[in-house]
Amino acid sequence: MPLSVAQFPLQDEIVLAFRAVKDAGEKDGADPDAIINKLAADLSSAIHTYVTQAVVQVTLVNTAVIGASPTGPVVGTGIGIGSGILI
């Protein structure tokens, strides 16, 4: 999917991550290091999910190959269309 579409779920995941650490920080005896580690894990997971939803589209690829062989020159061209997912 285009990253512009994936932006809204990313924002929701970030908001949830911040709310989770806010709630954890309000508890008595909260461990700041554990809270920071949880926030980092949640944010990295949300960002990873966002980035791996990117679609890469290739509309035109044109390749020319020029070389030589014992029987004479070799010339080749190719055109391709493809799409893939950014991983």
DSSP 63-75: EEEEEEETTEEEE
Give me the residue spans of the domains in the chain: 3-51, 55-85
- CB distance 77 to 63 below 8 Å: yes
Q: What is the pLDDT of residues 18-63, one digit of tens each?
A: 999 999 999 988 999 999 999 999 999 999 999 888 877 766 556 6
Q: What is the DSSP letter of 31?
A: -
The Cα-based distances of 27 to 21, 45, 49, 69 in angstroms read 10, 24, 29, 76
The tens digit of pLDDT for each residue in 2-12 reads 788 889 999 99
pLDDT value for 22: 94
Which pLDDT band, with edges at 50, 70 and 90, does 64 fall under?
low
State how beta strands 55-69 and 72-85 pair: antiparallel
Eight-state DSSP code of residue 76? E
Structure tokens, 69:
């062989």
Please state whether the predicted TM-score (pTM) of the whole model is above 0.85.
Answer: no
**What pLDDT, on the 0 to 100 scale, is given for residue 71?**
76
